[in-house]
Structure formats: C-alpha cells, structure tokens
Amino acid sequence: MQYKKIILPNGLRIVIEEIPYVQSVSIGVWIQAGSRNEQPELKGISHFIEHMVFKGTGRRSARDIAEEIDNVGGQLNAFTGKECTCYYAKVLNSHMELAFDILSDMLFCSEFSDLEIDKEKNVICEEINMYEDTPEEIVHDIYASNVFKHHPLGFPVLGDLETVMTIKRSDILEYLRENYRPDNTVISVAGNVKYKDIEKLALKYFSDWGDRDNKSISTAAPSLTFECNIKQKDTEQVHFCLGFKGLDQKDQKLYSFLALNNLLGGGMSSRLFQRVREELGLVYSIYSYPSTYRDVGLMTIYAGTSASQLERVIETITGELKDLKKNGVTAEELLRVKEQMKGNFILSMEGTGSRMSSMGKSELLLGKIFTQQETLDNIDAVNMESLSEMIERIINFENMAVTVLGSVNEGVKTIPGMMV
C-alpha cells in the first residue's frame, strides 16, 4: 500500500491512496474545526454550517446537489465532530471530477440565504428534540458536559435549542473565515485513481482557496471534573456513564489503551459484557469506548438498566475493575484482545470510504499517515507489561466520573460510596 501526499501553495494537503482493484473512489474534505472551536453563545454552529452547505450554491440548488450525485449512483454526506468536520463523496472513478466539482462548489459558493437559515434552524431543533428523546444517546452528552465542565469539548455537537435559534448569517461567515482555511484542511482520496489525475483536479478546484493563514486556532487544554451527577428524567431504564481520564491522540501508549478498552467492554466476549449481561442478566446494553482528543482523553463505560438494579450494576462493574487491578489479565486474554483488534482493523479497511477516512483523519489530527502494517505492528507491540501499566494508569477510583440519567430512586445516593 502506497500513499502520496501533496501540499498546494495555499497550504492545502492532499493525501492519496491508489487502489487499482476497485471501481470506486472516495473523496473527503477534512477541516480541523468542530464543536471544540465554538463560543458558548454559538454552540452548534459547526454542525449548522455542515447542514447549510447542502442548501444551495450560486450554480446549484439543494435539489441539484442531491440529483447530480444520485444520477451517477454516488453518495454525498458529511458529519461534524468535536475537533473536525468532514464532507465526503463516493462515486465510480469515472465520475470523480463531478465529486470534486460538487464538493468545492458547496464549500466555496454556498449562499447561506436567510430563508434557508431560518428553515434549517427548525430542522436542527427537531433533530435536537429527537436526540433528547433518546436517553441512551443523550446521556453521553450530559456526561461530557460534566467531565469537561465549562470547556468547549463538553459542548454538544448539535448545540442547544437556544443557541441554534440565535445563529445569524454573519456568524456563519465569520466562523468560515476563521476555520475553513486551506492550511487547516486535508483532502483525502482513496480508490481507483492515479496520483497525477488527483493532483490536477485538486489544483483545478481548490488552488484558488485563499492564501495560507498562519493564524493559530487553538483552545486551552481542559481540566477534568470527576464527580457523580444525577439527572432525573422520566424513562423506562436508567442510563449511566462511568469514566476515567484516558490518553490523548498522540500518546505513545495509545494501543495499550485501546487494548484495555477492548478487554473491558469492546465486544461480546469482553469482561463487562460477559459478567454483567451474560452471567448476571442485569443489562441489555453495556460497553466501553475510548475518546481521544489532541490533548486529553477519556475511557468510558456505558450501561442501561432498571432503577432497581442500578446499584448492583455499578457495584458489579466496579468489582470487575478492582479485580482487573488486583489480578491483571491472562496471557490468553491478551492474545484474544490483540487478535480481535487486528481483525477489526483489517476488516474495517476493506472499503474505499474507510481508507479515505483513516488517511484523512490521521493526517489532519496527527500530521502523518500510518500504513496498515505499522498499525498491526503497534497492536502486536502491546504486551503484558504495557497492558498492566495501562490498567494502573487508567483505573483510578479517586478520579472517576459518573453521570446517571433516568427515573432514579433514593438509593442512588449510595453511588459516591461505591467509587472506592
């Protein structure tokens, strides 16, 4: 597997992987701007802009944008995260110029009319309301806002009803000037393409994108708050997140951290799934997940259960964590976790979309691209010593955050006492 990286005079980075045995090409425009870059009074503006660029340009209506991609059997979409926004397309390689044309048109020539802005405010408010009605989803946002208190990493990507309704066209244009810059962007391309063809298309459609701006875009590293927070909500189940300080994206021990996550709650064979669901039958859903940002990270465990079983579920989880700290892992567990990680990684990289995504995110956030072999080698390098060190580093009951959402009974007051 060979990657090529091109840097245009305006600072825009293009990363390309030729995959000659497929017929498709996936193209992603990755911008290092997300909810972390927002001011409190404009929470949700990153996601709002992501919606608005699909609403029409000087050359294309919203319907035209949708039809031109649909007419060639392609896909066009976008997403907003905490630290980046991505606009991407997947088409047959014979239509890759159309994808470049549409993506550049959306980014540079969107009209952001007041009429469309007002319409989209209502759409996004309905999206927020839908999300609020999904407690197993919203609990993660509440948890993040508690842990990253008063820091943009704790802002919900969607924003909230109050801030979304205040967004104006001038706010959008100012945010674009500050964040949608070529030196703050990576275009990632994977598929049946030739390097020289992509370079020509990038120059044709993106070389006029402003001048390089060396203005630094940054927010201070967050301080983490570890406490128990309970939010009452009329739900059938009680949902909770329990978490510890994790690792940032560039930490040298990242793969040991990821291995710990898989061991705890990364699949149906994980310790928590087997103990809490399969053996005790206390939950339907339980899992863990890592969150890694440029200067901080979290390890989080989620579960949903009935209010009457909440204490027992948390006691069981903390009991498993204590056992892990006391007795460590077996050689068999270590081997299984590493094989699981390698298998998941290889299977995830079989499509052009996933390979485009891996390259784009890695170049944007880490400044380099890891080959598949380098990733597999990093997984193989995890050993008993490094995993044991990670267990001691991460599982710290004195710094554990708990967020509980649901119809919680009085017994939940004993939760803080379960933390040690």
Is 50 considered catalytic here? yes
Q: b vs e for 88-123, b when ≥16 Cβ sit within 10 Å of the residue's Cβ?
A: bbbbbbebbebbbbbbbbbbbebbbeeebbeebbee
**Which of the following is catalytic: 17, 18, 38, 50?**
50
Query: Which residues are known catalytic residues?
Result: 50
